[in-house]
Amino acid sequence: MYKVPSNGQEALSSSLLGFFEKKNCGNFYKFVAKVNEENPMTFDGSDLKTVPMKDIYTKNSITGQAVDFLGHAVALHQDDTYLEKPAIETINRMKLYIESAGKYGDSPFLYPVYGLGGLPESFARLCAIYGGTYMLNQDIDEIVMENGKVAGVRSGD
């Protein structure tokens, strides 16, 4: 069961949405939080695996800017084609967003304290700790597999 964090509901504090849109978004967040893909009884009477997302929005009175907000800012879809696809994919994206919000601060996104340069630095540090080699600007000639898992890469000799 996903918990709707109190500090992760940007839609409810946004000036982009009106009072009734915020109310409908709050109810929609509760619906999304209770959906369990393995249990169709949690789908609120719709088959989320076949019904398009636009119908789920309509059923939950989600309209206008709330649709744009939820689809693009919460589910991170790049265009509106998701509206015609089965709703379960978007619902799962929204659940991930809701679950991530408030986990490590107010945002569902992780960002290194000292900027994006911290990512390769962290990777290089972990690589050194676990005995790996970190090489830049090298062609990979082969991915070495052992027992169905990646064991390494070969670059040159």
In this predicted model, what pLDDT tens digit does every residue of 16-64 receive, in sequence order?
777 888 888 888 989 998 999 988 888 888 889 999 999 999 999 898 8
Name residue 61's amino acid: S
Listed in order, strand segments (DSSP E) in the chain are 142-146, 149-154
Expressed as residue numbers, the domain containing 122 is: 118-154
The answer to whether the pTM exceeds 0.85 is: no
Same domain, 45 and 96: yes
Same domain, 69 and 23: yes
- Give the residues across from 39 on adjacent strands: 36
Q: Which residue has the tokens 């744009």?
A: 68
- 3-class DSSP assignment, residue 141: coil
Same domain, 133 and 88: no
Residue 5: inside a domain:
no
Same domain, 86 and 133: no
- Give the residues across from 145 on adjacent strands: 150
Same domain, 91 and 122: no
Residue 2: inside a domain:
no
pLDDT one-digit tens code per residue, 94-112: 999 888 887 877 778 777 7
Closest CA to 25 of 73, 51, 57: 57
Same domain, 16 and 60: yes
- Contact at 8 Å (CB) between 82 and 90? yes
Give CA separation, 73 vs 79, 107, 146, in Å.
11, 12, 40
